[in-house]
Amino acid sequence: MARWDILNGDRVRESEAASPREERPKPSNDTSVSVGRGPTDSSSANTPERPDKPGQSSISRTPHRRTQHRDRGRTYSLRSSEVAAMGDIGMFRTVDVRDLARFVYSGSETRANYDLESLRTQGLVEEKTLSRAHKEPRKVVALTEQGHRILRKASGLPKDQAIYQGYVKPREINHDADLYKVYQQAAEEIRKQGGKPVKVRLDFELKAAVQREKNAVKGLSEEERVKRLETFAKEHTLTISGTTIHVPDVQLEYDTRDGEMERTNLELISENYRTEGIRSKAESGFTIYARSGDTTRVRRALEDTHTVEQILSI
């Protein structure tokens, strides 16, 4: 079965963007929620908006068409660009609003904010504003529980693609939000080589899988346990030291130009990583990324290890 590019960077065309003159979302008096121009007669309910071909945009070619999706007695009305935005948010749990505008809306914050207002009105996303020392506040967005359910019905994402809702630990939100940029940089390089990204696994999913395997081998002998864990690590393209399986921030699965399935492990080094932590991540074979202000410190930590050829900056 053909696989398709889960996040095509050129998905929202000018003709498909929200028009400032389009009717603004209004509260409904009944249990349904309908935003902007309602669906046309040709709109179908609860029909996943899939790309026409593998690797093609999932955005509909009809500019302002809205499709209705019913869930638990409510009706949600979504443009294809809103579904695309929800897909990116859901796969990465937390996304910076400006990064969403850059990668989904070709840099138009006006169009991104218009769609996000519609999604907020319908209760499908929630935003947070984060204070940062010596930097301007940062606005991030995540799916709500309702948004998670609707996305699974509406997006056409592969069934085995994990999607997330809500926020995790407050101190980790900034780090988690930057993983979207890490992915985009890696995906762009893959596309330049003729490849096609098809699946994203975050550390949440990978750690859960590792823990399940560790629980499954508890009663085995040490030798058999190590053997099973080594097999598991190899099958999941992870590295292992003894019985410790090293998990990256993001694992990106992609098809090569020749149609072969490959995976790459991506790690974003945060400002709170100590030297030994940085070296451990590099020794695990991960592709290392750092924020522009951290790259010098990361290079210094790795300069005598010869484990990483380059530190990629986001």
Cα–Cα distance for residue pair 237/252, rounded to 1 Å: 10
Cα–Cα distance for residue pair 283/127, rounded to 1 Å: 36
User: Strand 287-290 vs strand 312-313: parallel, antiparallel, or unpaired?
Assistant: parallel
Domains by residue range for the chain, with CATH: 14-169 (1.10.10.10), 193-313 (no CATH)
Amino acid letter, 222: E
Residue with tokens 């593998």: 54
3-class secondary-structure state, position 15: helix
Cα–Cα distance for residue pair 89/128, rounded to 1 Å: 13
| CB distance 87 to 157 below 8 Å | yes
pTM attached to this predicted model: 0.77
Cα–Cα distance for residue pair 257/254, rounded to 1 Å: 10
CA distances from residue 266 to 184, 218, 231 in whole angstroms, order as listed: 11, 29, 21
Residues in the chain: 314
Collect all residues with Cβ–Cβ distance below 8 Å to 3 and sequence separation of at least 6. 54, 158, 196, 198, 255
Cα–Cα distance for residue pair 81/66, rounded to 1 Å: 10
Q: Please, where are the H alpha helices in 165-221?
A: 173-192, 203-216
pLDDT tens string for the chain (314 positions)?
Answer: 455 466 664 455 444 544 544 544 444 444 433 333 333 333 344 433 333 333 334 444 444 689 999 999 999 999 999 999 999 999 999 999 999 999 999 999 999 999 999 999 999 999 999 988 778 899 999 999 999 999 999 988 888 999 999 998 888 899 999 999 999 999 999 999 999 999 999 999 999 999 999 999 999 999 999 999 999 999 999 999 989 999 999 999 999 999 999 999 999 987 666 666 677 777 788 888 887 766 666 666 566 554 555 566 66
Cα–Cα distance for residue pair 308/302, rounded to 1 Å: 7
Task: Please tell me the number of Cα atoms within 13 Å of 111 on its side-chain side.
Answer: 26
